[in-house]
Amino acid sequence: MEKILAFQVRETDLQKLKGISASMRIKLVVIDKVDFRQTVNDLLSQKKNPLVEPYNGQITESMLLLHEFSDKRLDALLKALRREQVKVDFKAVTTKTNIKWTVLQLFFEMEKERKAYLQMNQ
């Protein structure tokens, strides 16, 4: 089942995202900041680990994590996000590797990739 995990998306963009996901019949799950130490897999399966401490740090970026999308559906979703001008800092798809990561690890990796991209293009 296609899912979008949304992290720290601004309310105006979240409302647009809700409309898009409803019209495309995609399950949208908004993840609270306190769950950023949970693994992506646990959040996707909605089985949070009760032993994981809540996160109360200072991540400020927003992110969408897209799960189980075909190329065609991914293209359609990205076009809809552009058309509706949904602004998020990071967009990622789940992989065999990152599904085992915590949300924090995913954020850090996305930031590292952004810095490498910017450095490469200078």
pLDDT value at residue 122:
83
Over the stretch 20-48, which tens digit does the pLDDT of each residue have? Answer: 999 999 999 999 999 999 999 999 999 99
- The C-alpha atoms of residue 2 and residue 21 are separated, in whole angstroms, by 10
Domain holding 20: CATH number? 3.30.429
pLDDT value at residue 46:
92
pLDDT value at residue 121:
87
Predicted model pTM: 0.94
Could you say which residues of the chain have pLDDT below 70?
Answer: none
Count up the domains in the chain and report the number: 1
CB neighbours (10 Å) of residue 39? 21
Residue 95, domain extent: 3-120
